[in-house]
Amino acid sequence: MEDFEAVFTLDWLSGSVVTSYMMFLYERIKNGPIQDHGICFVTVTATMTDDRKMRSIHIDESSKIIADCLTKRNKNDIVMVPYNPGKHWVLAVLDMKTTTSYYLDSLRPIDVNPQLRQIIDAAMALYAVKTGSNSRCPKQPGSIECGYYILNFMKEIVREGLEILVNNNVGGDKEEYKEADFDEVRKEWSSYATQFVFRL
């Protein structure tokens, strides 16, 4: 019992303690009495660093593991990712409904741990590619329409504000923009541009 208590009195908890406590919380959610808010946990080993590994390899491997967890998360929209950059624990919380990441660090640094940020950003990008969930906006059908697409994206965000991104509603119900959408942008641009041409 003394050894068990000693683990909790250290300046930092071991990965096994964090893992076992996540298991405890998971059991309480699944079997009561804690309400299930759609929460799941990513294993501590997904982000554990190995001093022998190059940083870029660690980020690549960790992001792949987390992306895989996100793909298999069974509709849980809140994902908790504990991370220890070195004798200090921080927590990333991913809201998959809005694809928003929150970082909780009890030291309250000005910036998020850069390695954790890279891991999470890469994992979210991989997840989006794997699942096609990056379709928060219309998808261009070919390889040359990107310019008109970003013009339409900007136009909609200017009209609707950030809420359109939060609600995953760029383009409304459109799977892709039509020629009429491009024509409207062309007309607006040409009308604006001609003002400068005729001033010369």
CATH number at residue 13: 3.40.395.10
Most confident of 112-116, 160-164, 193-197: 112-116
pTM of the model: 0.61
Q: Kindly state whether residue 19 falls inside one of the protein's structural domains.
A: yes
Q: Kindly state whether residue 30 falls inside one of the protein's structural domains.
A: yes
121 and 61 within one domain:
yes
Domain residues for 108? 2-131
User: Under 8 Å CB-to-CB from 175, ≥6 apart: which residues?
Assistant: 138, 139
155 and 62 within one domain:
no
156 and 80 within one domain:
no
The domain boundary, picked from 107, 131, 155, lies at: 131
pLDDT band at 130 (very low <50, low <70, confident <90, very high): confident
pLDDT band at 196 (very low <50, low <70, confident <90, very high): confident
154 and 124 within one domain:
no
pLDDT at 134: 54
Domain count, the chain: 2
- Given a contact cutoff of 8 angstroms between Cβ atoms, the answer to whether 146 and 154 are in contact is no
What rounded mean pLDDT belongs to the chain?
A: 80
- Given a contact cutoff of 8 angstroms between Cβ atoms, the answer to whether 62 and 47 are in contact is yes
Q: Please give the share of the chain, as a percent, with pLDDT higher than 90.
A: 14
pLDDT band at 175 (very low <50, low <70, confident <90, very high): confident
